Structure 1
Protein backbone atom coordinates (compact mmCIF):
# COMPACT_ATOMS: atom_id res chain seq x y z
CA UNK A 1 0.00 0.00 0.00
CA UNK A 2 1.43 3.37 -1.05
CA UNK A 3 1.97 5.90 1.72
CA UNK A 4 0.20 9.23 1.71
CA UNK A 5 2.41 12.20 0.87
CA UNK A 6 2.04 13.40 4.45
CA UNK A 7 3.25 10.10 5.94
CA UNK A 8 6.03 9.84 3.37
CA UNK A 9 7.27 13.35 4.18
CA UNK A 10 7.14 12.69 7.93
CA UNK A 11 9.14 9.46 7.54
CA UNK A 12 11.83 11.07 5.37
CA UNK A 13 12.05 14.10 7.66
CA UNK A 14 12.44 11.88 10.73
CA UNK A 15 15.13 9.85 8.98
CA UNK A 16 17.17 12.90 8.02
CA UNK A 17 16.71 14.42 11.48
CA UNK A 18 18.56 11.50 13.06
CA UNK A 19 21.79 12.98 11.68
CA UNK A 20 20.84 16.60 10.88
CA UNK A 21 19.45 18.10 14.04
CA UNK A 22 17.06 20.95 14.73
CA UNK A 23 16.27 21.96 11.15
CA UNK A 24 12.98 20.22 10.42
CA UNK A 25 11.51 23.11 8.43
CA UNK A 26 14.53 23.26 6.08
CA UNK A 27 14.30 19.50 5.50
CA UNK A 28 10.58 19.76 4.74
CA UNK A 29 11.14 22.59 2.29
CA UNK A 30 13.74 20.51 0.45
CA UNK A 31 11.16 17.72 0.19
CA UNK A 32 8.63 20.30 -1.01
CA UNK A 33 11.00 21.30 -3.82
CA UNK A 34 11.62 17.66 -4.74
CA UNK A 35 7.88 16.90 -4.91
CA UNK A 36 7.44 20.05 -7.04
CA UNK A 37 10.09 18.79 -9.47
CA UNK A 38 12.13 21.90 -8.74
CA UNK A 39 15.66 22.70 -7.59
CA UNK A 40 17.01 24.47 -4.50
CA UNK A 41 19.65 27.11 -3.84
CA UNK A 42 21.13 26.84 -0.33
CA UNK A 43 22.80 30.10 0.61
CA UNK A 44 24.73 29.98 3.87
CA UNK A 45 28.13 30.41 5.47
CA UNK A 46 30.59 27.47 5.52
CA UNK A 47 30.17 24.81 8.16
CA UNK A 48 26.39 24.95 8.59
CA UNK A 49 25.90 21.47 7.15
CA UNK A 50 24.81 22.06 3.56
CA UNK A 51 26.73 19.05 2.21
CA UNK A 52 25.72 16.78 5.10
CA UNK A 53 22.08 17.73 4.59
CA UNK A 54 22.24 16.83 0.89
CA UNK A 55 23.96 13.51 1.62
CA UNK A 56 21.44 12.68 4.33
CA UNK A 57 18.58 13.44 1.95
CA UNK A 58 20.05 11.23 -0.78
CA UNK A 59 20.72 8.30 1.57
CA UNK A 60 17.24 8.48 3.07
CA UNK A 61 15.55 8.83 -0.32
CA UNK A 62 17.53 5.95 -1.81
CA UNK A 63 18.52 7.96 -4.88
CA UNK A 64 21.79 8.19 -6.77
CA UNK A 65 23.87 11.05 -5.40
CA UNK A 66 26.86 12.90 -6.81
CA UNK A 67 28.70 15.98 -5.63
CA UNK A 68 30.34 18.59 -7.82
CA UNK A 69 32.84 20.98 -6.21
CA UNK A 70 32.92 24.11 -8.33
CA UNK A 71 36.19 25.92 -9.04
CA UNK A 72 37.13 28.51 -11.68
CA UNK A 73 38.91 25.86 -13.78
CA UNK A 74 35.88 23.55 -13.90
CA UNK A 75 34.80 23.00 -17.53
CA UNK A 76 31.32 22.23 -18.91
CA UNK A 77 32.62 18.80 -19.97
CA UNK A 78 33.52 18.13 -16.33
CA UNK A 79 29.83 18.59 -15.50
CA UNK A 80 28.02 17.09 -18.48
CA UNK A 81 30.44 14.46 -19.72
CA UNK A 82 32.54 14.05 -22.84
CA UNK A 83 32.63 11.97 -26.01
CA UNK A 84 35.88 10.00 -26.34
CA UNK A 85 37.31 7.66 -28.98
CA UNK A 86 37.57 4.02 -27.93
CA UNK A 87 40.45 2.34 -29.73
CA UNK A 88 39.24 -1.01 -28.47
CA UNK A 89 35.69 -0.67 -29.81
CA UNK A 90 36.67 1.58 -32.75
CA UNK A 91 33.91 4.08 -32.05
CA UNK A 92 33.12 7.18 -30.03
CA UNK A 93 31.70 6.58 -26.56
CA UNK A 94 30.00 9.02 -24.22
CA UNK A 95 31.57 9.17 -20.78
CA UNK A 96 28.92 10.46 -18.40
CA UNK A 97 29.55 13.47 -16.19
CA UNK A 98 28.32 13.81 -12.61
CA UNK A 99 25.10 15.43 -13.80
CA UNK A 100 23.78 11.99 -14.81
CA UNK A 101 22.30 11.24 -11.40
CA UNK A 102 19.08 11.62 -9.42
CA UNK A 103 20.43 14.11 -6.90
CA UNK A 104 23.30 16.46 -7.67
CA UNK A 105 24.95 18.72 -5.10
CA UNK A 106 26.67 21.63 -6.84
CA UNK A 107 28.88 23.01 -4.09
CA UNK A 108 29.81 26.70 -4.28
CA UNK A 109 28.14 27.16 -7.65
CA UNK A 110 29.24 30.80 -7.78
CA UNK A 111 32.89 29.70 -8.01
CA UNK A 112 32.26 28.16 -11.43
CA UNK A 113 32.71 30.38 -14.48
CA UNK A 114 29.61 31.68 -16.32
CA UNK A 115 30.32 29.19 -19.12
CA UNK A 116 30.15 26.26 -16.70
CA UNK A 117 27.15 27.71 -14.87
CA UNK A 118 25.38 27.95 -18.24
CA UNK A 119 25.94 24.22 -18.77
CA UNK A 120 23.51 23.60 -15.92
CA UNK A 121 20.71 25.76 -17.35
CA UNK A 122 19.36 23.26 -19.87
CA UNK A 123 19.58 20.44 -17.34
CA UNK A 124 17.65 22.39 -14.71
CA UNK A 125 14.92 23.60 -17.06
CA UNK A 126 14.45 20.69 -19.46
CA UNK A 127 16.01 17.74 -17.61
CA UNK A 128 18.24 16.99 -20.55
CA UNK A 129 21.71 17.89 -21.81
CA UNK A 130 23.07 18.49 -25.30
CA UNK A 131 26.38 16.85 -26.22
CA UNK A 132 27.84 16.93 -29.74
CA UNK A 133 24.44 17.67 -31.26
CA UNK A 134 22.70 14.89 -29.32
CA UNK A 135 20.11 15.34 -26.61
CA UNK A 136 20.46 13.04 -23.63
CA UNK A 137 17.69 12.71 -21.05
CA UNK A 138 18.68 12.96 -17.40
CA UNK A 139 17.59 10.33 -14.87
CA UNK A 140 14.13 10.89 -13.41
CA UNK A 141 13.74 12.31 -10.82
CA UNK A 142 16.50 14.88 -11.22
CA UNK A 143 16.97 17.14 -8.19
CA UNK A 144 19.74 19.74 -8.05
CA UNK A 145 20.85 21.39 -4.82
CA UNK A 146 23.30 24.25 -5.31
CA UNK A 147 25.14 26.04 -2.51
CA UNK A 148 26.84 29.39 -2.29
CA UNK A 149 28.56 31.42 0.41
CA UNK A 150 26.84 34.84 0.79
CA UNK A 151 29.72 36.54 2.62
CA UNK A 152 32.75 35.65 0.48
CA UNK A 153 33.01 37.16 -3.01
CA UNK A 154 36.69 36.90 -3.94
CA UNK A 155 37.13 34.53 -6.87
CA UNK A 156 33.39 34.13 -7.43
CA UNK A 157 31.08 34.72 -10.40
CA UNK A 158 27.58 35.97 -9.49
CA UNK A 159 24.78 33.76 -10.76
CA UNK A 160 22.92 35.28 -13.73
CA UNK A 161 19.26 36.09 -13.20
CA UNK A 162 18.24 33.35 -15.65
CA UNK A 163 19.95 30.78 -13.45
CA UNK A 164 18.50 32.11 -10.19
CA UNK A 165 15.06 31.87 -11.75
CA UNK A 166 15.55 28.13 -12.30
CA UNK A 167 15.56 27.46 -8.55
CA UNK A 168 12.08 26.90 -7.17
CA UNK A 169 13.21 27.81 -3.62
CA UNK A 170 16.12 29.73 -2.09
CA UNK A 171 16.82 28.60 1.47
CA UNK A 172 19.19 29.34 4.34
CA UNK A 173 20.00 26.73 6.98
CA UNK A 174 21.37 29.05 9.66
CA UNK A 175 23.25 28.08 12.79
CA UNK A 176 21.76 25.34 14.98
CA UNK A 177 20.50 26.22 18.44
CA UNK A 178 22.57 25.22 21.46
CA UNK A 179 20.59 22.02 22.15
CA UNK A 180 20.87 20.79 18.55
CA UNK A 181 24.59 21.54 18.45
CA UNK A 182 25.07 19.64 21.71
CA UNK A 183 23.33 16.60 20.20
CA UNK A 184 25.58 16.89 17.14
CA UNK A 185 28.72 16.83 19.31
CA UNK A 186 27.40 13.86 21.28
CA UNK A 187 26.83 11.89 18.06
CA UNK A 188 30.46 12.18 16.91
CA UNK A 189 31.76 9.14 18.76
CA UNK A 190 32.88 7.17 15.73
CA UNK A 191 35.33 7.64 12.89
CA UNK A 192 32.66 7.55 10.19
CA UNK A 193 29.93 10.19 10.06
CA UNK A 194 26.43 9.14 11.23
CA UNK A 195 25.09 10.07 7.78
CA UNK A 196 26.77 6.94 6.39
CA UNK A 197 24.50 4.75 8.54
CA UNK A 198 21.25 6.06 7.04
CA UNK A 199 19.12 3.51 5.19
CA UNK A 200 16.72 4.24 2.30
CA UNK A 201 13.13 4.80 3.42
CA UNK A 202 11.67 5.10 -0.08
CA UNK A 203 12.58 4.40 -3.70
CA UNK A 204 12.62 6.22 -7.01
CA UNK A 205 9.32 4.80 -8.29
CA UNK A 206 7.51 6.01 -5.18
CA UNK A 207 8.99 9.50 -5.52
CA UNK A 208 7.82 9.71 -9.14
CA UNK A 209 4.32 8.58 -8.16
CA UNK A 210 4.13 11.19 -5.40
CA UNK A 211 5.33 13.93 -7.75
CA UNK A 212 2.46 13.02 -10.07
CA UNK A 213 0.01 13.05 -7.16
CA UNK A 214 1.08 16.56 -6.13
CA UNK A 215 -0.08 17.99 -9.46
CA UNK A 216 -3.65 16.95 -8.58
CA UNK A 217 -3.81 19.11 -5.43
CA UNK A 218 -6.68 21.59 -5.82
CA UNK A 219 -5.93 25.32 -5.99
CA UNK A 220 -9.00 27.53 -5.69
CA UNK A 221 -9.38 30.31 -8.26
CA UNK A 222 -9.31 32.88 -5.44
CA UNK A 223 -5.89 31.56 -4.40
CA UNK A 224 -4.61 31.67 -7.96
CA UNK A 225 -5.66 35.32 -8.03
CA UNK A 226 -3.91 35.81 -4.68
CA UNK A 227 -0.66 34.41 -6.08
CA UNK A 228 -0.92 36.65 -9.13
CA UNK A 229 -1.62 39.66 -6.91
CA UNK A 230 1.56 38.94 -4.93
CA UNK A 231 3.56 38.62 -8.15
CA UNK A 232 2.09 41.85 -9.55
CA UNK A 233 2.85 43.66 -6.29
CA UNK A 234 6.48 42.55 -6.59
CA UNK A 235 6.69 44.09 -10.05
CA UNK A 236 5.15 47.38 -8.92
CA UNK A 237 7.03 47.79 -5.63
CA UNK A 238 8.94 51.11 -5.57
CA UNK A 239 12.14 49.47 -4.29
CA UNK A 240 12.14 46.76 -6.97
CA UNK A 241 13.61 47.24 -10.45
CA UNK A 242 12.59 43.80 -11.72
CA UNK A 243 9.89 41.72 -10.07
CA UNK A 244 8.96 38.05 -10.10
CA UNK A 245 8.77 36.39 -13.52
CA UNK A 246 5.97 34.12 -14.80
CA UNK A 247 8.29 31.21 -13.98
CA UNK A 248 8.23 32.48 -10.41
CA UNK A 249 4.42 32.44 -10.45
CA UNK A 250 4.49 28.80 -11.50
CA UNK A 251 7.09 28.02 -8.83
CA UNK A 252 4.83 29.44 -6.11
CA UNK A 253 1.88 27.49 -7.51
CA UNK A 254 3.74 24.14 -7.62
CA UNK A 255 5.42 24.60 -4.25
CA UNK A 256 2.08 25.46 -2.62
CA UNK A 257 0.55 22.27 -4.00
CA UNK A 258 3.42 20.19 -2.61
CA UNK A 259 3.29 21.87 0.81
CA UNK A 260 -0.47 21.32 1.07
CA UNK A 261 0.01 17.63 0.25
CA UNK A 262 2.74 17.34 2.88
CA UNK A 263 0.31 18.83 5.40
CA UNK A 264 -2.19 16.10 4.57
CA UNK A 265 -4.60 18.20 2.52
CA UNK A 266 -5.94 17.78 -1.00
CA UNK A 267 -6.27 21.55 -1.40
CA UNK A 268 -4.15 24.67 -0.90
CA UNK A 269 -4.92 27.28 1.76
CA UNK A 270 -3.55 30.86 2.04
CA UNK A 271 -1.12 29.85 4.81
CA UNK A 272 0.64 27.48 2.37
CA UNK A 273 1.31 30.37 0.01
CA UNK A 274 2.33 32.84 2.72
CA UNK A 275 4.76 30.30 4.19
CA UNK A 276 6.56 29.84 0.86
CA UNK A 277 6.42 33.24 -0.81
CA UNK A 278 9.69 34.50 0.72
CA UNK A 279 11.61 31.38 -0.36
CA UNK A 280 10.20 31.62 -3.90
CA UNK A 281 10.62 35.39 -4.33
CA UNK A 282 13.95 35.92 -2.51
CA UNK A 283 16.32 35.40 -5.45
CA UNK A 284 13.90 36.64 -8.09
CA UNK A 285 13.72 40.30 -7.04
CA UNK A 286 16.23 42.77 -8.47
CA UNK A 287 16.34 45.96 -6.43
CA UNK A 288 16.93 49.52 -7.58
CA UNK A 289 20.48 50.74 -6.86
CA UNK A 290 19.01 53.30 -4.44
CA UNK A 291 17.40 50.49 -2.44
CA UNK A 292 20.70 48.64 -2.26
CA UNK A 293 22.51 51.79 -1.09
CA UNK A 294 19.88 52.29 1.62
CA UNK A 295 20.49 48.67 2.70
CA UNK A 296 16.84 47.71 2.28
CA UNK A 297 16.69 43.93 2.62
CA UNK A 298 14.86 41.72 0.15
CA UNK A 299 13.07 39.91 2.97
CA UNK A 300 11.72 43.21 4.31
CA UNK A 301 10.41 44.06 0.84
CA UNK A 302 8.73 40.65 0.58
CA UNK A 303 7.09 41.22 3.97
CA UNK A 304 5.70 44.54 2.76
CA UNK A 305 4.42 42.88 -0.42
CA UNK A 306 2.62 40.17 1.56
CA UNK A 307 1.17 42.78 3.94
CA UNK A 308 -0.12 44.88 1.04
CA UNK A 309 -2.16 42.10 -0.60
CA UNK A 310 -5.49 41.12 1.01
CA UNK A 311 -5.70 37.44 1.92
CA UNK A 312 -8.72 35.71 0.36
CA UNK A 313 -11.16 33.77 2.50
CA UNK A 314 -11.93 30.30 1.19
CA UNK A 315 -13.85 27.35 2.51
CA UNK A 316 -11.58 24.55 3.65
CA UNK A 317 -12.22 21.09 2.31
CA UNK A 318 -12.92 22.20 -1.25
Structure 2
Protein backbone atom coordinates (compact mmCIF):
# COMPACT_ATOMS: atom_id res chain seq x y z
CA UNK A 1 0.00 0.00 0.00
CA UNK A 2 1.47 3.39 -1.05
CA UNK A 3 2.39 5.86 1.67
CA UNK A 4 0.12 8.94 1.67
CA UNK A 5 1.98 11.91 0.23
CA UNK A 6 3.07 14.57 2.71
CA UNK A 7 1.63 17.94 1.62
CA UNK A 8 4.32 20.21 0.17
CA UNK A 9 5.66 22.96 2.43
CA UNK A 10 4.30 26.43 1.62
CA UNK A 11 5.86 29.82 2.15
CA UNK A 12 4.71 33.25 1.13
CA UNK A 13 3.67 36.77 2.03
CA UNK A 14 0.28 38.10 3.08
CA UNK A 15 -0.57 41.70 3.76
CA UNK A 16 -3.32 43.25 5.91
CA UNK A 17 -4.79 46.50 4.63
CA UNK A 18 -7.73 48.62 5.65
CA UNK A 19 -8.59 52.06 6.80
CA UNK A 20 -6.87 53.31 9.96
CA UNK A 21 -7.82 51.50 13.19
CA UNK A 22 -9.39 48.50 11.41
CA UNK A 23 -7.58 46.01 13.66
CA UNK A 24 -4.71 45.09 11.33
CA UNK A 25 -1.88 45.24 13.89
CA UNK A 26 -3.87 43.36 16.56
CA UNK A 27 -4.63 40.63 14.01
CA UNK A 28 -0.95 40.40 13.00
CA UNK A 29 0.05 39.94 16.65
CA UNK A 30 -2.68 37.32 17.20
CA UNK A 31 -1.57 35.23 14.22
CA UNK A 32 2.14 35.44 15.13
CA UNK A 33 1.33 34.67 18.78
CA UNK A 34 3.56 37.51 19.98
CA UNK A 35 3.67 41.28 19.80
CA UNK A 36 5.45 42.38 16.62
CA UNK A 37 3.27 45.35 15.60
CA UNK A 38 2.33 48.26 17.82
CA UNK A 39 -1.35 48.81 18.54
CA UNK A 40 -3.25 51.81 19.78
CA UNK A 41 -6.80 53.09 19.89
CA UNK A 42 -5.52 56.05 17.88
CA UNK A 43 -5.89 55.74 14.08
CA UNK A 44 -2.74 55.61 11.96
CA UNK A 45 -0.49 54.14 14.62
CA UNK A 46 1.43 51.96 12.15
CA UNK A 47 4.00 53.84 10.06
CA UNK A 48 6.38 51.09 9.03
CA UNK A 49 5.79 47.79 7.26
CA UNK A 50 6.32 45.14 9.95
CA UNK A 51 6.87 41.55 8.97
CA UNK A 52 5.50 39.05 11.46
CA UNK A 53 6.41 35.41 10.84
CA UNK A 54 3.98 32.54 11.49
CA UNK A 55 5.85 29.21 11.82
CA UNK A 56 3.94 25.97 11.17
CA UNK A 57 5.13 22.45 10.33
CA UNK A 58 3.48 22.75 6.90
CA UNK A 59 4.16 26.41 6.13
CA UNK A 60 5.82 29.69 6.90
CA UNK A 61 3.49 32.65 6.50
CA UNK A 62 5.09 36.10 6.51
CA UNK A 63 2.61 38.81 7.48
CA UNK A 64 3.21 42.33 6.25
CA UNK A 65 1.37 44.94 8.33
CA UNK A 66 1.00 48.24 6.50
CA UNK A 67 -0.10 51.74 7.51
CA UNK A 68 -3.82 52.43 6.98
CA UNK A 69 -4.53 53.77 3.49
CA UNK A 70 -6.21 57.18 3.67
CA UNK A 71 -6.68 60.40 1.73
CA UNK A 72 -3.39 62.14 2.59
CA UNK A 73 -3.17 65.66 4.00
CA UNK A 74 0.62 65.79 4.42
CA UNK A 75 3.77 64.64 2.63
CA UNK A 76 4.09 61.93 5.31
CA UNK A 77 0.57 60.72 4.42
CA UNK A 78 1.49 60.54 0.71
CA UNK A 79 4.62 58.52 1.48
CA UNK A 80 2.70 56.09 3.70
CA UNK A 81 0.14 55.54 0.93
CA UNK A 82 2.92 54.87 -1.60
CA UNK A 83 4.33 52.30 0.83
CA UNK A 84 0.96 50.51 0.98
CA UNK A 85 0.54 50.35 -2.81
CA UNK A 86 4.08 49.05 -3.33
CA UNK A 87 3.45 46.32 -0.76
CA UNK A 88 0.19 45.22 -2.42
CA UNK A 89 1.99 44.50 -5.68
CA UNK A 90 4.69 42.38 -4.01
CA UNK A 91 2.71 39.97 -1.77
CA UNK A 92 0.85 36.73 -2.57
CA UNK A 93 -2.37 37.60 -0.72
CA UNK A 94 -3.93 40.90 0.33
CA UNK A 95 -6.42 40.66 3.21
CA UNK A 96 -8.70 43.70 3.54
CA UNK A 97 -9.91 44.34 7.10
CA UNK A 98 -13.43 45.68 7.72
CA UNK A 99 -14.28 46.23 11.42
CA UNK A 100 -17.62 44.52 12.21
CA UNK A 101 -18.67 47.21 14.69
CA UNK A 102 -18.69 49.87 11.94
CA UNK A 103 -20.62 50.12 8.68
CA UNK A 104 -18.82 49.99 5.33
CA UNK A 105 -17.94 53.60 4.56
CA UNK A 106 -16.28 55.83 1.94
CA UNK A 107 -12.82 54.93 3.31
CA UNK A 108 -13.46 51.22 2.71
CA UNK A 109 -14.78 51.88 -0.80
CA UNK A 110 -11.71 54.03 -1.57
CA UNK A 111 -9.33 51.24 -0.47
CA UNK A 112 -11.11 48.43 -2.33
CA UNK A 113 -11.36 50.64 -5.42
CA UNK A 114 -7.58 51.22 -5.30
CA UNK A 115 -6.93 47.53 -4.65
CA UNK A 116 -9.07 46.54 -7.65
CA UNK A 117 -6.30 48.07 -9.84
CA UNK A 118 -3.87 45.40 -8.59
CA UNK A 119 -4.97 42.56 -10.86
CA UNK A 120 -2.70 39.59 -10.15
CA UNK A 121 -2.79 39.49 -6.33
CA UNK A 122 -5.25 37.17 -4.54
CA UNK A 123 -7.65 39.14 -2.31
CA UNK A 124 -9.62 38.07 0.78
CA UNK A 125 -11.92 40.05 3.07
CA UNK A 126 -11.69 39.86 6.87
CA UNK A 127 -14.50 41.09 9.11
CA UNK A 128 -12.49 42.10 12.20
CA UNK A 129 -13.57 42.90 15.78
CA UNK A 130 -16.50 40.46 15.75
CA UNK A 131 -16.40 40.44 19.56
CA UNK A 132 -17.82 44.00 19.40
CA UNK A 133 -20.82 43.12 17.19
CA UNK A 134 -24.02 41.04 17.47
CA UNK A 135 -24.50 37.96 15.23
CA UNK A 136 -27.14 39.91 13.25
CA UNK A 137 -24.75 42.82 12.72
CA UNK A 138 -21.97 40.44 11.61
CA UNK A 139 -24.35 38.77 9.12
CA UNK A 140 -25.30 42.13 7.59
CA UNK A 141 -21.63 43.16 7.55
CA UNK A 142 -20.60 40.04 5.59
CA UNK A 143 -23.33 40.70 3.01
CA UNK A 144 -22.16 44.33 2.69
CA UNK A 145 -18.56 43.17 2.13
CA UNK A 146 -19.71 40.75 -0.61
CA UNK A 147 -21.72 43.55 -2.24
CA UNK A 148 -18.70 45.91 -2.12
CA UNK A 149 -16.68 43.23 -3.94
CA UNK A 150 -19.31 43.02 -6.68
CA UNK A 151 -19.58 46.82 -7.00
CA UNK A 152 -15.81 47.21 -7.45
CA UNK A 153 -15.34 44.02 -9.53
CA UNK A 154 -13.13 42.64 -6.77
CA UNK A 155 -13.23 38.85 -6.47
CA UNK A 156 -12.89 37.80 -2.83
CA UNK A 157 -11.20 34.39 -2.57
CA UNK A 158 -12.62 34.20 0.98
CA UNK A 159 -14.73 36.32 3.34
CA UNK A 160 -14.03 35.41 6.97
CA UNK A 161 -15.18 36.94 10.30
CA UNK A 162 -12.58 36.95 13.13
CA UNK A 163 -11.89 38.43 16.53
CA UNK A 164 -8.19 38.90 17.25
CA UNK A 165 -8.98 39.86 20.87
CA UNK A 166 -10.95 36.70 21.71
CA UNK A 167 -9.05 34.48 19.25
CA UNK A 168 -12.27 33.45 17.50
CA UNK A 169 -11.52 32.04 14.00
CA UNK A 170 -7.89 33.27 14.06
CA UNK A 171 -6.58 29.74 13.38
CA UNK A 172 -9.14 29.34 10.57
CA UNK A 173 -7.85 32.56 9.00
CA UNK A 174 -4.27 31.23 9.28
CA UNK A 175 -5.34 28.02 7.48
CA UNK A 176 -7.05 30.01 4.71
CA UNK A 177 -4.01 32.25 4.19
CA UNK A 178 -1.63 29.27 4.12
CA UNK A 179 -3.84 27.62 1.48
CA UNK A 180 -3.44 30.68 -0.76
CA UNK A 181 0.37 31.04 -0.67
CA UNK A 182 2.65 29.08 -3.04
CA UNK A 183 4.68 25.99 -2.29
CA UNK A 184 8.19 26.87 -1.22
CA UNK A 185 10.97 26.40 1.36
CA UNK A 186 11.25 28.03 4.77
CA UNK A 187 12.40 31.66 4.33
CA UNK A 188 13.31 32.53 7.94
CA UNK A 189 14.99 30.53 10.74
CA UNK A 190 12.80 28.76 13.33
CA UNK A 191 11.84 31.00 16.23
CA UNK A 192 12.32 34.29 14.35
CA UNK A 193 9.10 36.30 14.75
CA UNK A 194 9.94 39.44 12.76
CA UNK A 195 12.65 40.74 10.46
CA UNK A 196 12.38 44.29 11.78
CA UNK A 197 15.74 45.55 13.12
CA UNK A 198 15.88 45.75 16.93
CA UNK A 199 16.31 49.55 16.76
CA UNK A 200 13.06 49.81 14.81
CA UNK A 201 11.24 47.56 17.31
CA UNK A 202 12.51 49.68 20.21
CA UNK A 203 11.50 52.93 18.46
CA UNK A 204 8.00 51.62 17.73
CA UNK A 205 7.47 50.43 21.31
CA UNK A 206 8.59 53.82 22.65
CA UNK A 207 6.16 55.53 20.26
CA UNK A 208 3.34 53.24 21.36
CA UNK A 209 3.99 54.13 25.01
CA UNK A 210 4.10 57.84 24.11
CA UNK A 211 0.77 57.59 22.24
CA UNK A 212 -1.02 55.95 25.14
CA UNK A 213 -3.39 58.42 26.74
CA UNK A 214 -2.33 61.63 24.98
CA UNK A 215 -4.70 64.12 23.42
CA UNK A 216 -6.26 63.33 20.08
CA UNK A 217 -4.23 65.90 18.12
CA UNK A 218 -0.87 64.47 19.14
CA UNK A 219 -0.50 60.94 17.61
CA UNK A 220 0.50 61.99 14.10
CA UNK A 221 3.00 64.48 15.53
CA UNK A 222 5.20 62.00 17.42
CA UNK A 223 8.21 60.33 15.79
CA UNK A 224 10.91 58.35 17.58
CA UNK A 225 14.53 57.87 16.51
CA UNK A 226 16.88 55.53 18.39
CA UNK A 227 20.20 57.40 18.29
CA UNK A 228 22.32 54.77 20.05
CA UNK A 229 21.70 51.17 21.11
CA UNK A 230 24.18 48.61 22.39
CA UNK A 231 25.19 46.37 25.27
CA UNK A 232 26.99 48.24 28.05
CA UNK A 233 30.69 47.42 28.18
CA UNK A 234 32.32 45.91 31.24
CA UNK A 235 29.25 43.97 32.42
CA UNK A 236 29.40 40.28 33.38
CA UNK A 237 27.97 37.97 30.70
CA UNK A 238 25.19 36.83 33.01
CA UNK A 239 24.24 40.46 33.84
CA UNK A 240 23.88 42.19 30.45
CA UNK A 241 22.38 45.68 30.18
CA UNK A 242 21.18 47.16 26.91
CA UNK A 243 21.67 50.95 26.69
CA UNK A 244 19.14 52.74 24.46
CA UNK A 245 19.28 56.49 23.84
CA UNK A 246 16.27 57.75 21.89
CA UNK A 247 14.74 61.07 20.86
CA UNK A 248 10.99 61.71 20.70
CA UNK A 249 10.25 64.37 18.10
CA UNK A 250 7.13 66.55 18.15
CA UNK A 251 6.15 69.39 15.82
CA UNK A 252 5.57 72.24 18.28
CA UNK A 253 6.86 73.43 21.66
CA UNK A 254 3.37 73.13 23.18
CA UNK A 255 3.36 69.42 22.28
CA UNK A 256 6.74 69.00 23.98
CA UNK A 257 5.13 70.05 27.25
CA UNK A 258 2.32 67.51 26.81
CA UNK A 259 4.77 64.65 26.25
CA UNK A 260 7.02 65.61 29.18
CA UNK A 261 4.16 66.29 31.63
CA UNK A 262 4.25 68.01 35.01
CA UNK A 263 7.85 67.89 36.31
CA UNK A 264 8.64 65.14 33.78
CA UNK A 265 6.01 62.73 35.17
CA UNK A 266 4.53 61.79 31.81
CA UNK A 267 7.90 61.15 30.15
CA UNK A 268 8.97 58.98 33.10
CA UNK A 269 5.77 56.92 32.72
CA UNK A 270 6.39 56.57 28.98
CA UNK A 271 9.96 55.44 29.66
CA UNK A 272 8.90 52.85 32.23
CA UNK A 273 6.16 51.39 30.00
CA UNK A 274 8.43 51.30 26.93
CA UNK A 275 11.32 49.75 28.88
CA UNK A 276 9.13 46.88 30.13
CA UNK A 277 7.88 46.19 26.59
CA UNK A 278 11.39 46.31 25.06
CA UNK A 279 12.77 44.00 27.77
CA UNK A 280 9.93 41.52 27.14
CA UNK A 281 10.50 41.63 23.37
CA UNK A 282 14.31 41.42 23.38
CA UNK A 283 14.82 39.38 26.57
CA UNK A 284 17.50 41.71 28.00
CA UNK A 285 17.42 44.28 30.85
CA UNK A 286 17.31 47.79 29.40
CA UNK A 287 18.51 51.24 30.43
CA UNK A 288 16.39 53.72 28.46
CA UNK A 289 17.30 57.38 28.07
CA UNK A 290 14.55 59.49 26.44
CA UNK A 291 14.79 63.11 25.24
CA UNK A 292 11.99 65.18 23.70
CA UNK A 293 12.86 67.50 20.81
CA UNK A 294 10.93 69.80 18.49
CA UNK A 295 11.23 69.24 14.72
CA UNK A 296 8.95 71.99 13.44
CA UNK A 297 6.19 70.74 11.06
CA UNK A 298 8.25 67.63 10.25
CA UNK A 299 5.33 65.85 8.54
CA UNK A 300 5.40 68.42 5.70
CA UNK A 301 9.17 68.85 5.34
CA UNK A 302 10.98 66.41 2.97
CA UNK A 303 14.35 66.99 4.68
CA UNK A 304 12.95 66.31 8.15
CA UNK A 305 11.05 63.24 6.92
CA UNK A 306 14.29 61.76 5.55
CA UNK A 307 16.03 62.46 8.84
CA UNK A 308 13.25 60.71 10.77
CA UNK A 309 13.35 57.66 8.49
CA UNK A 310 10.36 58.24 6.19
Question: Shorter-chain TM-score: which interval?
Answer: under 0.3
Structure (1/2) with the larger strand percentage: 2
- Which structure has the highest helix share of the two? 1
TM-score, with structure 2 as normaliser: 0.28
Task: Output the TM-score relative to the length of structure 1.
Answer: 0.27
